[in-house]
């Protein structure tokens, strides 16, 4: 039961409306047929009852006429003599079997032919005699079903002219329902034809009506499915075909307004939080070089001796230390500035092979190799930003290789794949630890002892602005490969 109900509940509203209308038509047809059958049976029952009563009244009047014109004294004993021949005449005239019983229930005369070999007719059952004698009308109708036929037998008291009981008139009657059964069969056939035609019309009507009712709901459902927190959602501009649908559309449009307001507040909150965290990180990175600078100045001030023969060498050392820390602070400020400023998209068609080759010229390491099977692979991107990406990736690759490692290798390879140009920067360094891999593109994350960890965050921002992607594959102890994918530009020949 629960499974069937679950299956019904999983059907679409359109299907359920369609099935409901069809089931309603079928139920109404079954109910109408059932009511018609019951009505026909009731009419047949009333017809037989009225027909028996009419026959009984007619025969009783005829019997009263015979009793009033007979020469025999009106007694129970004389009833067989009075109706000796007249009973057959009555039966022929009224086309009805007639039996006359005495007041004690024994058969006195019958219109049914009898032979000497026939058994004596059974008397009227005592309970019927009591019912006849106790009733106000002195009449009782016994109804029985024998061999599938419904039989009625009416028992009525025969009285003389002084209303003295003489005997009991019995009229057996077999209900012939052939006419009504034939009428009922014809009616059901016509009803079936009408409802078959009606059902075909109902199928078409239910289909279009359910489609009309659910059209608005499907539009709303599709729009709700497309609704996302990360995009601008369009309101539903639809004329509702019912009050409920109109309420639903208004609720959705209100939700869209609230969603946009929430998204704006969340974006503002995220920006404020990001800049707060960035400010903390910058402050922390600036404090790092200030401490050794302060200690260096204090040490030089405390130990300063104008007559020291190594004074010039100490001043040089002191200056180098300060310059080194100042450069560190400058690098921090530069990295923060670069990350904060989004690159302007200069959509120019570049030969990626030549631009990458040019970007590698600034590196002096002889273990950096450049590979490309083609001389011209064109993508749409800003030249400065592409050089910036390659420079950062190659610099990270160099720093990923330990200084004490004897065999160093950084390979920059370019290849064309379907509608993309892929730039792969591979190194044979230490690789990226599994716990660090998910955070590698986070702006503040770094595995180095110095720096702010903004390089890969800058690269990711630049590439995504040009509809590209950046991924990496790494193996601890063997190296890492970063792959930049940019949309390929097909030049007309």
Average pLDDT over residues 258-279: 71
**What is the per-residue pLDDT across 24-69, written as a single tens digit (0 to 9) for each?**
777 877 887 788 778 777 777 777 788 878 888 888 888 888 888 8
Q: How far is Cα 387 from Cα 484, in angstroms, rounded to an integer?
A: 13
- What pLDDT, on the 0 to 100 scale, is given for residue 471? 92
- pLDDT higher than 50, residue 118: yes
- What pLDDT, on the 0 to 100 scale, is given for residue 114? 61
What is the set of domains in the chain, with CATH numbers? 11-69+177-226 (no CATH), 73-176 (3.30.450.20), 243-340 (no CATH), 349-487 (3.30.565.10)
Instruction: Write down the pTM of the prediction.
Output: 0.37
CA contacts within 13 A on the Cβ side of 248? 17
- What pLDDT, on the 0 to 100 scale, is given for residue 316? 79
- What pLDDT, on the 0 to 100 scale, is given for residue 413? 95
Least confident of 25-39, 222-236, 359-373, 420-434: 222-236
- pLDDT higher than 60, residue 8: no
pLDDT bin (cut points 50, 70, 90) of residue 292 is low
Average pLDDT over residues 213-220: 69
Higher pLDDT, 319 or 294: 319
Average pLDDT, the chain: 78
Average pLDDT over residues 211-230: 68
Burial of residue 360, with CB atoms counted within 10 A of its CB: 0-12 exposed, 13-18 middle, 19 or more buried: middle
The rounded percent of the chain whose pLDDT value lies above 90 is 11
**What is the per-residue pLDDT across 84-102, written as a single tens digit (0 to 9) for each?**
888 888 888 888 888 889 8
DSSP string, 18-59: HHHHHHHHHHHHHHHHHHHHHHHHHHHHHHHHHHHHHHHHHH
């Amino acid at each position: 039961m629960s499974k069937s109900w679950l299956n019904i509940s999983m059907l679409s509203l359109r299907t359920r409306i369609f099935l409901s209308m069809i089931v309603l038509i079928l139920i109404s047809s079954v109910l109408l047929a059932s009511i018609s059958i019951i009505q026909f049976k009731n009419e047949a029952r009333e017809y037989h009852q009225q027909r028996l009563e009419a026959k009984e009244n007619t025969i009783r009047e005829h019997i009263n006429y015979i009793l009033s014109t007979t020469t025999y004294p009106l007694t129970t004993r004389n009833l067989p003599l009075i109706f000796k021949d007249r009973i057959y005449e009555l039966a022929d005239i009224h086309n009805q079997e007639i039996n006359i019983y005495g007041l004690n229930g024994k058969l006195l005369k019958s219109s049914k032919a009898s032979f000497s070999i026939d058994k004596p007719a059974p008397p009227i059952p005592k309970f019927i005699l009591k019912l006849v004698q106790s009733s106000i009308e002195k009449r009782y109708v016994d109804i029985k079903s024998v061999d599938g036929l419904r039989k009625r037998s009416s028992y009525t008291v025969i009285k003389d002219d002084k209303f003295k009981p003489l005997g009991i008139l019995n009229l057996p009657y077999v209900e012939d329902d052939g006419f009504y059964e034939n009428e009922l069969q014809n009616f059901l056939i016509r009803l079936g034809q009408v409802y078959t035609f009606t059902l075909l019309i109902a199928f078409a009507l239910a289909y279009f009506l359910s489609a009309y009712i659910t059209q608005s709901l499907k539009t709303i459902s599709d729009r709700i499915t497309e609704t996302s927190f990360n995009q601008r959602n369009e309101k539903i501009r639809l004329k509702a075909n019912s009050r409920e649908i109109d309420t639903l559309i208004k609720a959705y449009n209100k939700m869209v307004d609230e969603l946009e307001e929430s998204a704006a507040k969340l974006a503002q909150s995220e920006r404020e939080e990001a800049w707060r965290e960035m400010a903390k990180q910058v402050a922390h990175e600036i404090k790092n070089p200030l401490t050794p600078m302060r200690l260096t100045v204090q040490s030089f001030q405390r130990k300063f001796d104008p007559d020291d023969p190594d004074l010039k060498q100490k001043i040089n050392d002191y200056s180098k230390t300060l310059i080194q820390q100042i450069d560190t602070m400058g690098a921090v400020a530069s990295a923060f500035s670069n990350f904060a400023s989004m690159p302007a998209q200069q959509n120019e068609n570049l030969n990626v092979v030549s631009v990458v080759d040019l970007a590698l010229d600034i590196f002096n390491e002889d273990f950096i190799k450049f590979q490309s099977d083609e001389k011209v692979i064109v993508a749409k991107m800003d030249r400065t930003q592409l050089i910036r990406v390659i420079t950062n990736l190659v610099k990270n690759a160099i720093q990923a290789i330990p200084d004490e490692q004897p065999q160093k290798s950084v390979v920059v390879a370019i290849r064309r794949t379907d509608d993309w140009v892929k730039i792969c920067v591979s190194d044979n360094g230490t690789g990226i630890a599994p716990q660090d891999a998910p955070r590698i593109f986070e702006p503040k994350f770094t595995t180095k002892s110095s720096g702010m960890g903004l390089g890969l965050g800058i690269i990711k921002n630049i590439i995504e602005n040009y509809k590209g992607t950046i991924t990496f594959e790494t193996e601890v102890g063997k190296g890492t490969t970063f792959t930049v994918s940019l949309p390929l530009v097909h030049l007309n020949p």
